[in-house]
Structure 1
Amino acid sequence: MTDFSAEGGHGAVPMEGIPVEPQAAAVRSDWPLYEVFLRGKRGLNHVHVGSLHAADPQMALHHARDLYTRRNEGVSIWVVAAEQITASSPDEKDPFFAPSGDKVYRHPTFYAIPDDVPHM
Structure 2
Amino acid sequence: MTARREWPLWEVFIRSRDGLNHKHAGSLHAPDAEMAIQNARDLYTRRSEGVSIWVVKSEDIVASEPSAKGELFDPAGDKVYRHPTFYSVPDGVENL
Q: TM range, normalised to the smaller chain? A: 0.7 to 0.9
Answer 1 or 2: higher relative contact order, Cα 8 Å, separation at least 6: 2
Render the CA deviation track for 1:50-81: whole Å, top value 9, x for unaligned.
00000011100000000010001111000000
How far 1:28 moved relative to its partner? Answer: 1.1
Partner of 1:93: 69
How far 1:107 moved relative to its partner? Answer: 3.7
Partner of 2:50: 74
Name the CA distance, whole Å, in 2 between partners of 1:103 and 1:26.
Answer: 52
- Specify the structure having the higher radius of gyration (Cα): 1
Please show how residues 1-120 of structure 1 align to structure 2 within 5 Å: 26-107=2-83, 110=85, 114=96
Render the CA deviation track for 1:24-58: whole Å, top value 9, x for unaligned.
x7331211000000111111111111000000111
| Secondary structure in structure 2 of the residue aligned to 1:83 | helix
TM-score (norm 1): 0.66
**Alignment RMSD, CA only?**
2.0
TM-score (norm 2): 0.82
The structure where helix makes up a greater share of residues is 2
How far 1:100 moved relative to its partner? Answer: 1.4
Which consecutive residues of structure 1, in runs of 5 or more, have no partner in the other structure? 1-24, 115-120
Opposite residue 78 of structure 1, the aligned amino acid is: W
Identity of aligned residues (%): 60
Aligned length: 89
How far 1:103 moved relative to its partner? Answer: 2.0
Name the CA distance, whole Å, in 2 between partners of 1:77 and 1:113.
Answer: 35
